[in-house]
Amino acid sequence: MLKEHFRSRGFIEGGIVHNCEKTAMDMEALPPFLRTLLVTDGTVTKSLEAFFWENIKVEMRMQEQCWLTQDLPFINAKTGDHALKRDVILKGAKTSDIYAYATSYLLTGLLDEEVKQQMLGGKIGIGELLREIGLETYREIVDFGREVFNASIKEDGEPEYVEAIYRTYVINIGGNPAIQITERFPIRLFQKKAI
């Protein structure tokens, strides 16, 4: 199972790992820094800043309260459950390169009312939430893989597709899985810059 692969180590003999859909990923073939980001259980922003040596801005693209249209089994959420969905990008302040796209689902029913209102008002981010209320910050990696996804809509109305390596992880609140985050790293950018 994927959870056991990177819980206590960052190396797998042979380099082949299978994700939740049983798709094989050759970890050794990835750019080394991208491989590091996939297996780390910490936040990626500081790692990106240190490696690319530029300030990384977190830009919110969308935040909405929603009723889930699909099950999210990693956080025990079912279709129809209420959640806060948030899409952000991690962007270089100097280069404007987009290093990561992140989609988060947060089960707000597990938050106290004050923190919930701050989150809903967009006043604090998930990292700030974790620090402010003293939550555990361990990210349990539950899935990763390679995909092509619709990153945005261009000015001409056409979708912009990006090939990315992704990881999905879960953060617990009070021992309950409450936040599911999928981070997507554009592989071509990392192949070009992470030499």
> Which is nearest to 88 in space by CA: 99, 98, 108, 103?
103
- pLDDT tier, 163 (very low <50, low <70, confident <90, very high otherwise): very high
- Residue 28, H or E segment: none
Mean pLDDT of 52-74: 91
pLDDT at 1: 45
Q: Strand locations in the chain, DSSP E?
A: 16-18, 24-26, 56-67, 82-92, 98-106, 140-153, 159-173, 176-186
Distance, in Å, from the CA atom of 156 to the CA atom of 46, rounded to the nearest integer, reads: 34
CATH domain 14-193 topology: Chorismate lyase (3.40.1410)
pLDDT at 178: 87
Domain ranges of the chain: 14-193
Res 42: pLDDT: 65
The most confident of 35-39, 59-63, 150-154, by mean pLDDT? 59-63
